[in-house]
Structure 1
Amino acid sequence: MSKLMRPEYRRMYEVMRLRLGKNLSKCVFIILIFNLLQSFLFGLTLSPIVVSFKTEVNPVNFVFSALSTSFVFFFSFQFLYGIISYFTKLMLARRDVMGVFTSGLNDRTKRAHFVSMIFSLIMVVSALLAAAFVVLNKERILAVGMEFVESDTEEALTLINSASIFLVFCAIFFICGILLSVPFLFSWNILIDDKKISAVGALLKSFSLMVRNYFHYIGFVIYACFKNVMFVLIFFGINLNLSGKDSVAANLCAMLLGFLAFIQQYTIIAKVYTSIPIYYYSLLSVNGMISSEKNENESSSE
C-alpha cells in the first residue's frame, strides 16, 4: 500500500475561505434548520435515558431510545447526504446547487440509504458505549455533580443529577461518534462522484483513503476552526463576567456577544461540513487520482 501525499492546510483553507465566504449566510441558515429539526427529534428519543437516572436505571428505556434514535439518525443522514452534496457543489463553484437536499431520500440506487444505515449504526453503538460508561460510573458522576450544588433542596439535587448524567453521556457519545465515523466520511463524496460504485465499495474506498490520513484530516478541521473556537471562548468568558452586573449596558453587550458567539458556532459547523469535500478533492488532486479533464474544469471554475 503506497503512501499518499498529503494536501497542504494553507491551500485548502484558502479555498474554504473563498467559497464559504461568499455563501456563509445561506450555509448557516441551512445548518440552523437542520440542527433545529435534529434537536427536536433527538430530544424526544433521548429523554427516556435522562429520565431513567432520576429514579433507577430502566433497561427498557435504553432499548426504546436506541431503536427510536436509530430511525432519527437514519433520516438525518439521508438529509446530510443532500447537505454534503450542496456544500460540494459550492466548493467546486458549480451552479446547479438547488434540489440536492432530498437527494439522499430520492436515491433510487439505495446506496445513500445503505451508507446512512451504517452511519446510524455507528451512532447507536456510540450511544450504547456512552450509556454503558454512565451506568458503570454513575456514582462517581453524581459525586462530582454534587460539588456544584448550592442548595440542598430536592429540586436542585434532581436537576444537578440529571444535568451531570446528561452532560457526561453527550460528551462520551460525541467523542465516540466522531472517532468511529471519520474513516467513512468520504463515502458521501465518493457516491456523488461515482454513480457506478456500490455503497460497500464507497465505504471501503473512504476507509482506505482516510485511515492513512486520519489525524491529518482532523488536524485540518482544527486548523480551519481554531480561530472561530477562540472567538467563542472569548465571547463566553466576557459574558460570564457580565452576568454578575445588573445594568442595561451590560445586558445589551451580553446579547450582542451572544449573537456573535452564535454566528461563530455555526461558522464552525459550516467549516466542518465543507472540510469533507475540500480535503477529499485535494487529496485526490495531489495524488493524481482526478482525471485531467476534471481538473481542468474545476480549475477554470475558480
Structure 2
Amino acid sequence: TDDACKRVLTVKAHEDRCTGADFHPTACAAMLGATEGTVDGGPSEAVAMGTACADGVAHLWSVGGKHLRSLKGHADRLARMAFHPSGELVATAGFDHTWRLWSVETGDELLCQEGHSRAVYDVSFHPDGSLAASVGLEAHGRVWDLRVGKCITTLVGHVKQCLSVDFSPNGYQIVTGSDDHTARVWDLRKRGCVYTIPAHSRLISAVRYEPTAGGYFVTSSYDHAVKVWSARDFSCINTLRGHDAKVMCADVAPGGATCCTVSYDRTLKLWRQQGGGTRAGAGGVKFEEGGVLEVKEEEQE
C-alpha cells in the first residue's frame, strides 16, 4: 500500500549475468521482508524464488535469500524461467534448443523437452498446469501437453525472434511478443492467431496478462515504453512512459492494481492503477507512476 519502492533483499545469485527470475506461487510481498526462521508459521527452507543464469544453471532460494538447490542439465546459457501453478515444478528455457522441467522439492530434472530448432527464450504455463507454451529465436512458439510430453499446436506467424509468451487466465488465449514489433493473440480453440497488434516501434521484450481476471495485458519494449491492451478488443488503453532506456521486462501483480517495469536506465518502477480493479472496459485501465527504485553502479557489481 505504500508508494515507496524499497529494496528488502539482495541475493548474490550468480557469478555470470542473471537471465531470468520468478517468484514461487506461494511467495508474497510480506514474505520478502521476513528473516530466516519461520514465515507465517512455515519454515524458511521453503522455496520462495528462482533465478536463471548465463552459465546454464538455475538456482532456488528461500525467502531470506538462502540457497536451497541448483538445477543443472542445460548444455548452454539459460534465458527465462517460470514456476508451475502447483508450485511443485519449475521450467527453464535454454539456448541448447530445449526447455526443461524440474522438481522444486528435489531439484531433479523430470523432462527435457526438445522440438525447437533454435534457442528457447521463454516458457509459460496454462492456469491449470496441464499445458505449457514456449517461444524462442526461431520466430514461432509451441504449445505442449505436459500429460504426454508432446507438442499439440505450433504458433506460426511472427517473422522475427519471439522473446515472451503468456497464458490468459481464461485458459484458451495466449499472447506472444516478438522482435518484429508485434504482439499476437492466439486462440487454442481455433488453433491460430486471432489478432496481431503493431504494438511498438522496436523489439517487444515482455508480454504479461493481468493474472487474476485477465481483463488486460501489458507489453514492454526497447522503444522505452510499456503499453496496456484490452483483452476484449485489443485496443491500447494506456501507455506508460517514464523510462529513459529500453524496458527489459514488465509484470502485473495479482488483482491488477500494480504493474512493475525494469529498464536499462537502472530503475525499477511501480505503476499504480487509478481507482483499482482489473476490468478493461470503455473507461480503460489507467496507471500512474507509484514508486521508483534506482540501482546504483556499485550495486550491480
Would you call these one fold, judging by a TM-score over 0.5? no
Larger radius of gyration: 1
Larger % of helix: which? 1
Name the structure with the higher strand share.
2
